[in-house]
Structure 1
């Protein structure tokens, strides 16, 4: 055991942590979906907030806030004129040192040199160019001027190749020759790739020879191109962010420095190749840098490159463009900007999106995210659990009628088998009957049985019901905030029948200007109808046909509405709307109510509004049919409907 050490795990998420339960994520989405949100929008909202039950994991909104905070810090860190300021300071220092050397000399030559120094242009680049051929008398001034040139070489190259400033820290002519050879080989490799002649072996040979200049350690040519192109684009934006005078002065310094280093042609060739390969980058545009600290060219480009990363991250983390997915977020950019923990947070969010699809809760159809039947069943079960959680404990249970007969739970008793019985066979009693009758086991252990020996196990009888839930789809349901509870109620009832009463035949009917049968899988994503009309007449017609198809089933009809009937179906099959309701609409609707009464179907109405005309109508329905009227609050609708359904099942 001496070879092992145990301690806290730091590199990424806990590998022993239990997997995240995606059902909890689906339940979180379900509330938004049932309120009218699309699956895509509800998933996006979930990913923005973060994962329920995982407080240590950040959502997209928190990552976005971190990105914006980091961008503010960068902009406030410094300004872009550091190289110009330092170059000007070194130039002034060199000229001052030269004047100090010339001042004691009374000769005419000294006066001529002073006059030449007086004529040096104010522009830094022009001044450096003019003094390039000047023969310095002061050794200190000559060293300062060489320091200035060396600074410009290192800053200019560092603005295009990260880390070049450190690589050229020691003034070494051989180092500059290696830079020139590297750029020539790089341009040749890009040319071969453009012609389709590049191979991975070419890239490996290039990195073996020139890898010292690329601390990022790219894995292939495309990654190298991406690194260089993003840096070149940042250098262009740095120039664009300066004033016209500063831009012209710095560009002159860059051109002059590259020309003196023998790199001007190679750098121009490289810039054209990079732009041709990555025109999608932000090559133009200005950035605001408001800090007090002057930044050198390399540091300024570093800051602008990071700002460009943050801008792209802000857009991808926002996920507010068509077809947005978490796969669009650049993991490498997240790591560079926010560190490893942010990568782990992003991975957790991606896992939820992926698991919801892989575990069969979500599917993409023609670029659109949809709930699967499995997800709808889950939402229904969740809605049902919430309903039962609000019911009194004494009212929970199956509430079945206990009557020996058809299929159901075993009662513990048995009876002789009769032709047509479908109950399970009581094997023990059957064999005992055979042995008692004299059909003892033979030598092979077999018992001779007759028809009279067979017995079946008695079961509790469960009455079969034909259930119709009529749900108002009119726009007023959305306006009153009752639309989501109505959908939750429909899903809960569907789940209850499927799980507790599978022998029942349930049909959910939505009605507005027309009525239609709603399939379970479309319930969750169902939207209200922005049309005029509450056609309860048509809904009752469809419900009546469902009851007629199951004449031996007990009829259960439940109506959820917030308005009186304002439409009916004409003989030609078209809907007729009129408000206040026409006499014909009310008469046709009540005629269907009377038909329900003759079918022995009780209509229980759940009234979600208190309009006087609606109350008069439902009171008339109750008088004609004998059903009951409920006026629940929206948040207790599911409790009322499920309780009434169970009461009706117990009564039968």
Structure 2
């Protein structure tokens, strides 16, 4: 007889606290409204009228009072406006981490991220993956392996095979410095599609992942439009798209400057964008061309990609677009840098970022 098959337990949410339900919606709206509390609450009131989010026992006024009492919003400022608090900003980061990275399913193929060096890592992690040649006996997870053998072979004819084995992965203590570049040009909200909110969620989730799991790593975040400038973690929820072109060169130059200050050997750049480079800064003037791929702008972009390659800094491009001519440019850019590129939809963006972040930080740059 075959063994039992186990599936994820999903409890019913009937008893979930009404405040927590509304808080989840409120925090999503805060990212969409760039941290505008009043506008987010106005949207919630509209949603409440349409979908009955609240009831007679707990209304929107109760929810707003609880937000103040629990320290998520405050009116204690010179203007007397409702604003987010540091507690609210931290809560949004944790929510983004759970939403984007926490729900990614682990598969047996997730263990196939090979490293360019031999030997074991420094300490065991909480990740489970399929057994590979070279894994040590102390890494084998007996509970998971025996469960697989029971499922695959049954109880009556029980046999533990190599294909049943799963191991607890080892986590290298190599420190990594990452720069995350976010495109804030006008095209990120063009054609009625909100691309900046998913980008903000990914940035918040990646920051929280590094803070909690890799505290010795560094993450610098910058945004680029006509120019590029560094932002702090607390600034991410308030990001808005501007009437900008896309100065990819300025973003990459700033990213390289930030990484030069880091003493770690492993360095990488993640770039989230949806368009082609359309702008350069020449002195105090801007050279702009939104029509097609301007050769002058493209050549400058490829030059800095080559510079990053010589410094062994891979650039991973997450292109939220599928135009054939843009793909051709990204492929050329990636080849020059020896990096990677993904043509991702908004829903799959977080998974790609997590996968590449974990792959890159396992590399041992000499």
Q: TM-score, normalised by structure 2?
A: 0.71
Distance 1:384 1:19, change over 3 A: closer
Q: Judging changes above 3 Å, is the alpha-carbon distance between structure 1 residues 574 and 25 closer, same or farther for their aligned structure 2 residues?
A: farther
User: Given the alignment of the two structures, is residue 367 of structure 1 paired with residue 80 of structure 2, yes or no?
Assistant: yes
Alpha-carbon spacing, 1:33–1:623, altered in 2? closer, same or farther (3 Å): same
Q: Specify the alignment match of 1:190 in structure 2.
A: none
Higher RCO by CA contacts (8 Å cutoff, separation 6 or greater): 2
Counterpart secondary structure, 2:257: helix
Q: Displacement of 1:352 after TM fit? A: 2.2
User: Aligned partners of 2:21, 2:214: CA distance in 1, in Å?
Assistant: 26
Aligned length: 292
CA distance in 2, matches of 1:564, 1:527: 19
How far residue 489 of structure 1 moved from its aligned partner, in angstroms, is 1.1
Map 1:240-251; keep pairs closer than 5 Å: none
Could you tell me whether the CA contact under 8 Å between 2:184 and 2:224 is conserved in 1?
yes
Q: Where does 1:64-103 land on structure 2 (aligned, <5 Å)? A: none
Instruction: State the SS of the aligned residue for 2:362.
Output: helix
Q: Which residue of 2 aligns with 1:40?
A: 38
* CA displacement 1:272-309 (0-9 Å, x = unmatched): xxxxxxxxxxxxxxxxxxxxxxxxxxxxxxxxxxxxxx
Alpha carbons of structure 1 residues 355 and 589: separation in structure 2 relative to 1, 3 Å:
same
Distance 1:39 1:402 in 2: 49
* Residue 468 of structure 1 pairs with residue 154 of structure 2: no
Q: Of the candidates 348, 352, 357, which is equivalent to residue 63 of structure 2?
A: 352
Cα distance in 1 for partners of 2:210, 2:48 equals: 34
Cα shift at 1:465? 0.8
Residue 366 (structure 2) pairs with residue 648 (structure 1):
no
Q: 1:500 maps to what in 2?
A: 213
TM-score normalised per structure 1: 0.41
Distance 1:601 1:49 in 2: 46
- The question of 1:29 aligning with 2:33 is answered no
Residue matched to 1:538: 250
Name the counterpart of 1:403: 121
CA distance in 2, matches of 1:552, 1:650: 13
Which of residues 231, 244, 250 is equivalent to 1:518?
231
Give distance in 1, aligned partners of 2:232 and 2:21.
Answer: 24
Alignment counterpart, residue 487 of structure 1, candidates 180, 189, 200 = 200
Provide the alpha-carbon RMSD of the alignment. 3.0
Question: Deviating runs (4+, > 6 A) in structure 1?
Answer: none
**Deviation by residue 1:288-340 (Cα, 9 ceiling, x = unmatched):** xxxxxxxxxxxxxxxxxxxxxxxxxxxxxxxxxxxxxxxxxxxxxxxxxxxxx
Larger strand proportion of the pair: 2
Counterparts of 1:24 and 1:553, CA distance in 2: 43
Per-residue Cα deviation, 1:610-650 (whole angstroms, up to 9, x for no partner):
22332222111111111111111111111111221122223
| Structure 1 residues 539-574: Cα deviation after superposition (integer angstroms, max 9, x where no partner) | 00110011101132411211111111011222x254
Which of the residues 590, 593, 596 maps onto 2:302? Answer: 590
Alpha-carbon distance in structure 2 between the residues aligned to 1:651 and 1:392: 23
Q: Distance in 2 between matches of 1:19 and 1:622?
A: 47
Q: Distance in 1 between matches of 2:175 and 2:23?
A: 32
- Max radius of gyration: which structure? 1
Give the CA deviation at 1:35: 2.6
Structure 1: where are the runs of 5+ without partners? 1-17, 59-341, 411-458
Deviation at 1:46, TM superposition (A): 2.7
Shift of 1:50: 4.7
Q: Could you say which structure has the higher helix fraction?
A: 1
